[in-house]
Structure 1
């Protein structure tokens, strides 16, 4: 049996049971005693959990695709004979100088900033799954404008629209993954977000290489429309976050989904950690008196008592939730420290210089190799990025966040230094090897860990607002690097890489003293530790 997503009368997305959740012995009518089942807090990643996470991660995959879509075809987009014949009534290219191309590149970050700041509201208004479904409109409109661009201005607007969709995607997807993941495997599942991003980058590099001729760059930038339609067609098979449903006082639905995500009926201990969402006093009294769990209580309530309880809890919940927004989260003492840390994590990530590799690697390599060879080398960077990210997923929940983060940052500092030296001294082999080392250093640690920590530092009340601010900082950093890199490189030469190395060292020291280890702790425990 499967059910589709619908909108309730109040406008909220009603997330019903997905076919991905069906499991033997765990249907709502199962007579199995929850006390006889394994605890959900001890659960591993189930196929139902992995499948829902993978479907939702088609959103950050699109973000990765749009990051690098202008990298390989830069030359054929910006340079051609102005009097050349049109292709299907469209200009063969869009002549522009470096400043205009940098604007097109960086406008993606402006849209991303707007999208990330609105993502928290969307996630609370329509739920995690509903928000990403509505977000497909931005992901569809952006590629359409770019594929049919008649002028550089249309290309810029298309990049802006794709940026809005990307900003929403990279806030909500990691939040969703953290909320559905088992406690002991939250890092592993959350790396699906980063893995999807780097897979998107690889896809766009491959397509860019294959379409790097004549007018075919339009097919490359337009392929994002295919990805948007694919995601919209399958997103109904994912489930809504049970933590979100609980926070909206949809307790029976939340516990039913959680039981099937964990493949166990014994979810009481995990649900007990959510009591602060809006019904903590009621649940605590029930537990102390030996009454049934929230799950069983919700199943046994009469319609009248359930309605009265829901109305009361909803009023309490509404009052509580309305206090944490993107406009006041930094003014609330308990969230100020994690807010500042996630801002620095995301802004510092961009100041590491990683996006210079994905935005401009082709331009750097074409100074040393032919266009064909440089496009192949760029694709190999994407392959390495995927492999290194996948390796991080295997160890993040074994060794912890801090070791992975600091080893990654240290290796990046060395690699970026070597890259600057190789380019300055025209040591082509050193420069190429250093590009690969930068990616291999970044992908398993400094790439995914800031996204993961950004979802672990806030409880469910502040998760959406905190995630929006975190990614806003990321987009500001992306915009600054995208706009400033080429002019600074012209002004400073390869000394520009010294800025990135300095940022890595300064951020590393701050993180060492301020960021706690979060491995194996519930989100509520981490939030209390940071207060």
Structure 2
């Protein structure tokens, strides 16, 4: 490891790269590692827990998916005052009191968010590779600033639609890059817990928008509700400089001194050699078929970044030489499925995310207000809807606490089984007009989904791919999620009109089929490095 020096006035430099440091690094010690009073050189980084530096960086980056959660539900509560003017309400000069539109236009404003999310997800992998994980979210802040600004100042329905579309783009990028970043900075033993901060921030965002929507559900104040996203975006942009870049990403870009320095800080130990070695050992073994390295001269050879310094890998046949060259071909959303080692995880993450939407979870949120209003007043219904948001947060937090203790598979399958029962009860309650059963079932579905089937697909999507394919794999995963969201949103009401509450039988069937497929194909990833998981999926 190169010696790193620090000057208060200049960036840290080494023979490999110039280190642009986060304040989280500068605040502690010298030489890019923890200071001696809190470092433990005997502790292996693979055995480390979650440090304050790691947690702080994760929380700051999670302000991005929090905005995604906020924008998901921002139009739910204020629909009535946006589309119909209350002549007795307060008026603001220069801006119309409301934006009169029919249900078709309002549905477009709601669903165009998913179209923007799809485009954002497909571009997120490229952004994460081009500018880094933290850099991608810095540039993505432009979408989160422009979108709420357009909606808050909207003078026509078209302006509202465009604002939703732009916010959707930012949301698509956020929910790809953030889980990827969390998995890459997390210690192996607590990767699940840290990664579930992504889902927790999403449901917190939903709760915030439900609460603000309830408080601002009068006259022109809907503009404050949709414009509050601008406050969140500015807060996130102003704090991103305090989060460190992913050390795995920096290592893949040959910024190895900086990667080691950040890893030392994140783990609070200088003993990081085993973890760094794991970033390359499995992939090297896969590419070279377990053959050894040598410095002897041969006619055909290729020097790779995985070999030790000044060591050359000897290649004696053309087929192996071609494989080595293919390792240097960038993995993108357009070619990831052409690589044999990525084909299976690619198909699994597509099914995980698409299957999540086929569970019918979004229709539960669509139904919540209408079901509540059958039994309670509009005001009481809005309060009960906020309580669903609170339950969503608490259930997600419980999943984060147990995912690294019990594993991904038990959490996923127990969640899917409980959802199948809860969705069945919801369909029965609605079909036979048993309002009490329907209301209770809404809470049961959320409590079943939030700790398992909600966050685990996001977590597995970051664990199935090594750093080379992480961006492209994450883009495809969330693209499948957005497509599933759009299809279910478009098809649900027509299907309900044709077959009634039997539509919920489709969701139950999808849960059972996906559960069987996942049981047979998805390995347990708890306690394994990303490289070890990739080897399992070969």
- Per the TM alignment, residue 89 of structure 1 is displaced from its structure 2 partner at its CA by 2.5
Asked if 1:185 corresponds to 2:190, the answer is: yes
CA RMSD in angstroms comes to 3.0
Asked if 1:229 corresponds to 2:237, the answer is: no
Distance 1:40 1:496, change over 3 A: same
Q: Secondary structure at the match of 1:243?
A: helix
Q: Which moved more, 1:432-441 or 1:89-98?
A: 89-98
In the alignment, what sits opposite 2:313?
none
* TM-score in terms of structure 2 length: 0.86
In the alignment, what sits opposite 1:523?
530
Select the structure that is richer in helix: 1
Distance 1:101 1:24, change over 3 A: closer
Unaligned ranges ≥5, structure 1: 7-12, 287-296, 306-315
* 1:72-151 equivalences in 2 (<5 Å): 72-80=77-85, 87-151=92-156
- CA–CA distance in structure 1, aligned partners of residues 361 and 35 of structure 2: 53
- CA–CA distance in structure 2, aligned partners of residues 47 and 484 of structure 1: 46
In the alignment, what sits opposite 1:158?
163
In the alignment, what sits opposite 2:456?
449
Distance 1:508 1:31, change over 3 A: closer
Q: Deviations over 1:473-492 (max 9, x none)?
A: 00101111222223333333
- Per the TM alignment, residue 87 of structure 1 is displaced from its structure 2 partner at its CA by 3.3
Q: 2:25 aligns with which of 21, 26, 29?
A: 21
- CA–CA distance in structure 2, aligned partners of residues 164 and 517 of structure 1: 32
Please say if residues 102 and 482 of structure 1, whose CA atoms lie closer than 8 Å, have aligned partners that are also in contact.
no
Q: Secondary structure at the match of 2:155?
A: coil
- Per the TM alignment, residue 317 of structure 1 is displaced from its structure 2 partner at its CA by 11
Q: Secondary structure at the match of 1:325?
A: coil
Q: Secondary structure at the match of 2:525?
A: coil
Unaligned ranges ≥5, structure 2: 1-5, 12-16, 295-306, 311-322
- CA–CA distance in structure 1, aligned partners of residues 483 and 282 of structure 2: 31
Q: Deviations over 1:26-47 (max 9, x none)?
A: 6448897x99521000000101
Please say if residues 108 and 162 of structure 1, whose CA atoms lie closer than 8 Å, have aligned partners that are also in contact.
yes
Q: 2:333 aligns with which of 321, 326, 331?
A: 326
- CA–CA distance in structure 2, aligned partners of residues 523 and 408 of structure 1: 24
Q: Which moved more, 1:16-25 or 1:451-460?
A: 16-25
- Per the TM alignment, residue 154 of structure 1 is displaced from its structure 2 partner at its CA by 1.6
- CA–CA distance in structure 1, aligned partners of residues 123 and 129 of structure 2: 10
In the alignment, what sits opposite 2:415?
408
In the alignment, what sits opposite 1:55?
60
* 1:64-79 equivalences in 2 (<5 Å): 64-79=69-84
- CA–CA distance in structure 1, aligned partners of residues 222 and 19 of structure 2: 39
In the alignment, what sits opposite 1:38?
43
Q: Which moved more, 1:206-215 or 1:495-504?
A: 495-504
- Per the TM alignment, residue 321 of structure 1 is displaced from its structure 2 partner at its CA by 4.9
- CA–CA distance in structure 1, aligned partners of residues 268 and 122 of structure 2: 35
In the alignment, what sits opposite 2:299?
none
- CA–CA distance in structure 2, aligned partners of residues 231 and 255 of structure 1: 26
Distance 1:246 1:210, change over 3 A: same
Q: Secondary structure at the match of 2:95?
A: coil
